[in-house]
Structure 1
Amino acid sequence: MPRNEPTEGTESWDGEGSARRRKAARYAVPVAVGVVAAATIGLVPAFAGSGSPDLPKISAQDLIAKMAKSDVQQLSGTVKVTTDLGLPSLPGGAGAFGGGQGGGGGSAAPQSKLMELASGTHTLRVASDGPEKQRVSILDKAAEYSLVHNGNEVWGYDSGSNTAFHHTAPGNAAHGKRQAPEEVPPGLKNATPQDLAQRALQAAGDTTSVTVDGTAKVAGRDAYQLLIKPKQSASTVGSIRVAVDAEKGVPLKFTLTPKSGGAAAVDVGYTSVDFAKPAASTFSFTPPKGAKVVDGGAADAKAHRPHGKGGAASEGMKAPGGMKAAQDMGGMNVLGKGWTSIATVKGEGSGLPSGKDKSKGAAGGPAAFLDSIGDTVHGSFGSGKVFSTRLVNALVTDKGTLYVGAVDKQALIDAANAAK
């Protein structure tokens, strides 16, 4: 039975000069986790095997109930995130979603860090003390990025550029209450195995089989392994394995493997975890001397709030902030259900430019690059390009409509044909 051995790595929350980089796992695996969130779970009775550690047998239903009843709100620990979606590299060495410092080369605003977790391996330090206090830091070799939520305040700090982002919600003087920030960065709430597991288990239905597949040791703690498999053949998801703390009912590790096999596309797990109340100083932040402080007021929050026709969160699929531009093109809708849900966005214009477009220059520029990585497909909808990763595929038609989901190419073509 596969095991995940604990890794030493208890780290302190040191002072202001340290680097921080936290970010949205929801954003980290944008459409992939969105589709998983829409998946529905049909409970198939099964029992834990005789793997090590030796734990009492439990059914899948009871294990899910244990997770649902878990009221752990205080913890701290170190999380290792590995993402391998098979994203192509853009000319010049940048990742398919951009990379490096992002938006403006060093801004500490949370949205500038979106997509950084979409590839590679990252180490996070996380801490939580109830719904009003969270802290997540992304550690790098040369820098660190952190987001700190404490009551009605959110701070982001990028040590690499010595830039801080600050957002304070207005107080509710009429009722003497303190408001939470209008939009707490999702990275503070969606970076851990708990959050990803909740997305995969939000609904019940007949599109999924769920079993308990043995036990494991994760971050030094005994855990059951919940195995989730789609029943819908068009899904590109092979399986999801969630290691659930046998005592606390808290997911400790989340592993998503594509149907095509190979390494996990998404692997998020604690290497160390402590369920004691974090020190109050963990959620305090003062910008270091000389740091540039950027205020992120209500206008900033509004600018990055998902919106658009159809509602980005319809049918359980939470649209990542990075899809705001897509929503601006006409709104996002969700076709189908469960693992084969497909997000569709109707754009304006004539779709992607061709690399043969002479107006783009001799080499075709970005258009030529898109032509080189996409496969041309045809159907009763017309023609278009399919762009593929190990998990998420996208079809852009010649009329500018986007179809995207954790489904195979044919499912996208069928959806476009049906919607023509």
Structure 2
Amino acid sequence: MLGDLHLRGVGPTPHLDIEFAERLNVLTGDNGLGKSFLLDVAWWSLTGTWSGIPAWPRQDFKRRGIVWTVIGKTGKGARKKSEFDPHRQLWSWPSGRPSMPGLTVYARIDGSFSVWDPARNYWRRDAQSEPEAPHRPEAFHFSSTDLWEGLSYEGKVVCNGLIRDWVSWQLMDDGSPRSPFQLLLRVLEGLSPSKQEPLKPGRPTRISLEDVRDYPTIHLPYGYIPVVHASAAMRRILGLAYLLVWTWHEHVRASRLLGQRPDRRFVLLIDEVETHLHPQWQRRIVRALVEVIEGLAENTSVQTLLTTHSPLVLASLEPFFDEERDSLFLFELKEQQVDLRQLPWVKQGDANDWLTSQVFRLEQPRSLEAERAVEAAEAFMRGESKALPEGLSTQEEIHAELQRLLPEQDPFWPRWIVAREKGGRRGSLQSGRRAR
């Protein structure tokens, strides 16, 4: 698992330092400040491979390095350091036997995945020291198509893909608790949007004359449909559920062939966990992911690094967040420089209050037009007439705009109505004095 990460002269900021919590690490902040980039570097630090384009150092800094700590099976941290080699145009990898981070899965926003398995992907980098050692892939990198159709490496099939594996697991299932299909059933149940809408597989079916394969089906309120016809949100969840089960199942089989015990440590990196998900799903997804991974086997531990822009995801974590094992991090832009800091965990109560918290910093959890009208009304009530914007410079203009934009049950109405009545009474008294 990943203990910490320190970047110098690489990424959107001259220097970045982060110490990760042992269980849940939530990364939030505005777009373009480096959240996905941090996940990319974290993946590389754990596995020694890049999931896509390698991180590129900044040319305006002489110090360009990556330092990190990987916590191995014994619980001890191994400090690693890499510097960019300008002649070879790559990041050096530390010599010696690497520390084992555990099973590592990276779910990216475009539907692609990467998997690193200490049983299937670990090998000595010095081929001369072990010329007879088998050549294994550095990692398994799945495009969104590979995940469903299968993945090959140097002419050998390394993954059958969701369509074939799901059907094969289902047809060969013997009902044992540790069979891949029974694991898949439990993971699907755990990741379902609600108890009223469980993700339940149906009988496989063919979908065309040209394709003789049987396709998995999934139950929806209006019937069973092939998984390839499911919504974008459901396909992402189905793909993630399949990959988690596939990763664990293949790791167990590979460990058996190698004569060693399976590694029960799991690292999950997931970018924008709320992508495509309805709010009721956003309220469940993070806790569900942690719990289904822990449920793959006894004594399984999971470290999660995730990014989110969703106030509802953060609100959903309030009963689950443990300050001893979890951390919340915020990326901010300060004086044209990116700053990353750990925030103290403070319960906000609901998604609206998260929107106006220091994480998102919205003035009002409303439309821009409604925010402008409410702020003008508040300035009017404070007697700050000079601060009123054009078109909202009188009580009548403000009231008309509030009527246009705010619903009848909006909590701002009582304050505004009381202020209008007081203003009306003051106006009546002043008119009476002038008349006398």
Q: Give TM-score scaled by structure 2 length.
A: 0.26
Larger fraction in helix = 2
The structure, 1 or 2, with the larger RCO (C-alpha pairs under 8 Å, 6+ apart) is 1
- Which structure has the greater CA radius of gyration? 2
From the two aligned structures, give the one with the greater strand fraction. 1
